[in-house]
Structure 1
């Protein structure tokens, strides 16, 4: 994945900085999270936003190896 600089509204950056500190993310990572959330919400308008957030959180936990496979029986 390549990165490129973007021009963002100052209020958006300020909000991302504040929320990012609470969530332990940089402003850039917070904006990336919001974009991911918005993209999934747009593609799945029937899903509640909290459900989408849970999906994204679980995917991040999986990427970091914080989950184990569930075995039935």
Structure 2
């Protein structure tokens, strides 16, 4: 369900620029930032970059995943 919300003009313009660069809608960019922020708050021991990358990887799904091949001793 979509809900209209008021946000600061500067935040909107930043989201607009990032959305264009990352091929998202402005709403999608704000939603992504909110998910990253919530996940970061829920997991304060993890670096924010890790949280961001994890959310991106989960959104990509298993179709883009590559199989892990160990390079260690067998």
Q: TM-score range by the shorter chain?
A: 0.7 to 0.9
Any gaps of 5 or more consecutive residues in structure 1?
A: none
What is aligned with 2:44? 45
Q: For the structure 1 residues 69 and 24, does the alpha-carbon distance in structure 2 shift closer, same or farther, using more than 3 Å as the test?
A: closer
Show structure 1 runs of 4+ deviating over 2 A. Answer: 65-72
* In structure 2, distance between residues paired with 1:34 and 1:5: 17
What is aligned with 1:14? 13
Any gaps of 5 or more consecutive residues in structure 2?
A: 70-74
* In structure 2, distance between residues paired with 1:52 and 1:66: 20
* RMSD, aligned CA: 1.9
